[in-house]
Amino acid sequence: MAAQRACTTHPLVLRRVTVRRVHQVTPRMRRVVLGGEDLAAFTRDGIGRPAFAAPGFDDHIKLILAADGDVHAALPAQLPHGIEWTPAEHRLTRDYTPRRVDQRT
């Protein structure tokens, strides 16, 4: 019988982050370094959110961008128990796999 791994589900959290660096690793792979206060635990609109963590090999983050520059229209709504993905014509998303989390930076 194969050993089972423990599975932890983290809450979905909208976080404001800043792109600090981008490095083109290969023609189809980029290293993106993010930073910002929202990577730590915080409370917004009365909803407490934990610090960012990505302990698993299959964790991912989704960057949400606005093709027309209107970030507020592109963002989904943060609800107490998840995220509501309302339609947004100019929303662009990109998924990235975190390789390392450094709480000091």
Which two structure tokens, joined as six digits, stand for 70? 């209107």
| Domain edges within the chain | 18-96
Asked whether the beta carbons of 12 and 82 are under 8 A apart, the reply is yes
* Higher local confidence (pLDDT), 7 or 28: 28
Q: What is the pLDDT of residue 84?
A: 94
Asked whether the beta carbons of 38 and 48 are under 8 A apart, the reply is no
Which two structure tokens, joined as six digits, stand for 100? 């390392």
Global confidence as pTM: 0.76
Q: Model confidence over 62-97: pLDDT tens digits?
A: 999 999 999 889 999 988 888 999 999 999 999 998
Matching residue, tokens 């662009």: 92
